[in-house]
Structure 1
Amino acid sequence: MTTETPVWFTSSYSNNGGECVEVAINLVASHGTVPVRDTKLQESPVLTVPAASFSALVAGIKAGGFPA
């Protein structure tokens, strides 16, 4: 992915049930991407999403565009 180390975090809205993803927003400025990985399978491949697409996803979720 890069030579920079991602700084992973899980949303504070997680309920610690293990069904979450982690993101590393520290690479947005330097690479324009948001790495995403499974919280419980941290050694699995990392999905790298363009920052604009990740922002659109988060905005859609906040707007209720993905009902449960």
Structure 2
Amino acid sequence: MVNFNVRFPEDLHARVRAQAATDRRSINSEILYLIEVGLTAVSTDAGSPGSDPANPAPRRGNPDSSPA
């Protein structure tokens, strides 16, 4: 398994923590689950009629959030 450090805004961390508690999972397991669900939805949407793989949805957030 790969270790991967991610910085979360406090409000998003609180939401993930609350959802993990509701689902009786660790925060790490909840994040993995949410990523898997999200990636499944993206791959399903990419094959749906009317979608254009040449023009994917715009990315969200800052394009370069790494520190200078």
TM-score, with length taken from structure 1: 0.30
The structure with the largest helix share of the pair is 2
Higher normalized contact order (CA 8 Å, seq sep 6+, divided by chain length): 1
Larger radius of gyration: 2
